[in-house]
Structure 1
Amino acid sequence: MVIDSDWSFPQRAREAGQATFPGLLICAIVVAAAWLRYVLPLNVDVSWWLLVGERMLDGQRLYVDILETNPPMAGSVYLLAVALARAIHLRPELATNILIFVLTAASLTLVWLVLRTSALRHRLADGRLAGWTTALLLIAPMYDFGQREHLALITILPAIAVYILRARRERVAPAAMLIAGLSAGLTMSFKPYFAFSVGFCILAAAAQARDWRVLFALENWIAAALVLINAACIYLFFPEYFTVIYPLVRDVYLLLKAPVPTILVTLPMGLWLAAAVIILILQRTQHERDAASFTTLAASLGFLVSFVAQQKGWGYHAYPMVALALLAAGLAVSAIDASRDARRWPRVATALAGAVLFVQTCFWFNGSVDVQQIEAQVARLGPRPSMLVLSAAAVIGHPMVRTLDGTWISRQEAFWVREIVRRSQQDGTIDSQTAQRLAPYVERERAGIIADFRRQPPDVVLIDNQNSDWGDWARSDPEIRALLAPYVLVQTVDGVEILKRG
Structure 2
Amino acid sequence: MRLLALVPALGFLLTLLSPPLNHDVAAILSFAERWLGGERLYIDLIDANPPLIFVLTLLPAAIGAWTPLGAVPALLLCLLGLCALAAGVALRLARGRAEAPIEAAVLSVVLPLLTLSASYDFGQREHLMAVLALPYLLLAARRLEGVGSGPGITLGAAALAALGFALKPHFLAIPALVELLVLLGRGPWRAVRDPVPWLMAALWLAYLVAIPLAFPAYFGQVLPLIRDLYLGLGGFAWWQVLLTERLGTALMLLLPLGIVAFRPSWGALPRVLVLAALGATLAAVVQHKGWTYHALPVRIFAGLLAVVLAARWLEWALPPGRLAGVAPGAAAVAAFAIGLHGFAGAEAPWREITWSWSRAGAVSALLKREAHGERLLVLSPDIFPVYPALNYAHAQSTLRTMNLWLLQGVNAECPDGGHRYRPSHAMSRTEFFVYRTVAEDFARAPPAAILVSRNPGIPRCGEEFDFLDYFSRHPLFAETLRRYRPVAEIEGYRLLRRED
**TM-score calculated relative to the size of structure 1:** 0.83
Kept in 2: contact 1:111–1:157 (CA 8 A): yes
Cross-structure match for 2:361 = 372
Cross-structure match for 1:447 = 436
Whole-angstrom CA distance in 2 between matches of 1:65 and 1:255: 23
Matches within 5 A, 1:61-210: 61-118=40-97, 122-123=101-102, 125-126=104-105, 128-138=106-116, 140-207=117-184, 209=185
One-letter amino acid of the counterpart of residue 381, structure 1: E
Whole-angstrom CA distance in 1 between matches of 2:4 and 2:335: 16
Distance 1:204 1:370, change over 3 A: farther
Shift of 1:363: 3.7
Correspondence 1:291 to 2:268:
yes
Residues 160-202 of structure 1 show CA distances to partners (whole Å, capped at 9, x for unaligned) of 1111112323334433431243133212221111101111222
Secondary structure of residue in 2 paired with 1:83: helix
Shift of 1:298: 1.1
Distance 1:124 1:451, change over 3 A: farther
Cross-structure match for 1:307 = 284
Whole-angstrom CA distance in 1 between matches of 2:443 and 2:474: 15
Distance 1:475 1:59, change over 3 A: closer
TM superposition outliers: structure 1 runs of 4+ over 6 Å: 347-353, 364-369
One-letter amino acid of the counterpart of residue 343, structure 2: V
Report which stretch shifted further, 51-60 or 62-71.
51-60
Kept in 2: contact 1:141–1:319 (CA 8 A): yes
> Unaligned regions of 5+ residues in structure 1, if any?
1-20, 427-435
Q: How many residues align?
A: 466
Secondary structure of residue in 1 paired with 2:45: coil
Distance 1:202 1:437, change over 3 A: farther
Whole-angstrom CA distance in 1 between matches of 2:398 and 2:466: 18
Whole-angstrom CA distance in 2 between matches of 1:103 and 1:452: 37
Residues 409-463 of structure 1 show CA distances to partners (whole Å, capped at 9, x for unaligned) of 222211111102222669xxxxxxxxx9981112112222123212321222122
Kept in 2: contact 1:255–1:424 (CA 8 A): no
Shift of 1:206: 3.6
Cross-structure match for 1:498 = 495
Whole-angstrom CA distance in 2 between matches of 1:113 and 1:315: 31
Residues 297-341 of structure 1 show CA distances to partners (whole Å, capped at 9, x for unaligned) of 211111111011011112222211111111111111121244635
Kept in 2: contact 1:183–1:223 (CA 8 A): no
Secondary structure of residue in 1 paired with 2:146: coil
Cross-structure match for 1:430 = none
Cross-structure match for 2:379 = 390
Distance 1:243 1:168, change over 3 A: same
Distance 1:87 1:117, change over 3 A: farther
> Unaligned regions of 5+ residues in structure 2, if any?
353-357, 416-424, 458-464
Kept in 2: contact 1:388–1:410 (CA 8 A): yes
Whole-angstrom CA distance in 2 between matches of 1:253 and 1:378: 28
Whole-angstrom CA distance in 2 between matches of 1:277 and 1:86: 46
Whole-angstrom CA distance in 1 between matches of 2:401 and 2:120: 22
Residues 29-72 of structure 1 show CA distances to partners (whole Å, capped at 9, x for unaligned) of 55443322332301112222222222232233211222122122
Whole-angstrom CA distance in 2 between matches of 1:120 and 1:226: 37
One-letter amino acid of the counterpart of residue 82, structure 1: A
Secondary structure of residue in 2 paired with 1:313: coil
One-letter amino acid of the counterpart of residue 497, structure 1: R
Whole-angstrom CA distance in 1 between matches of 2:337 and 2:5: 21
Correspondence 1:236 to 2:213:
yes
Cross-structure match for 1:15 = none
Distance 1:133 1:449, change over 3 A: same
Q: CA RMSD in A?
A: 3.2
Whole-angstrom CA distance in 1 between matches of 2:363 and 2:65: 30
Distance 1:391 1:444, change over 3 A: same
Correspondence 1:275 to 2:253:
yes
Correspondence 1:489 to 2:465:
no
Whole-angstrom CA distance in 2 between matches of 1:419 and 1:62: 22
Instruction: Give the alignment partner of residue 407 of structure 2, picking from 399, 402, 418.
Output: 418
**TM-score calculated relative to the size of structure 2:** 0.83
Cross-structure match for 1:51 = 30
Shift of 1:157: 1.4
Distance 1:366 1:164, change over 3 A: farther
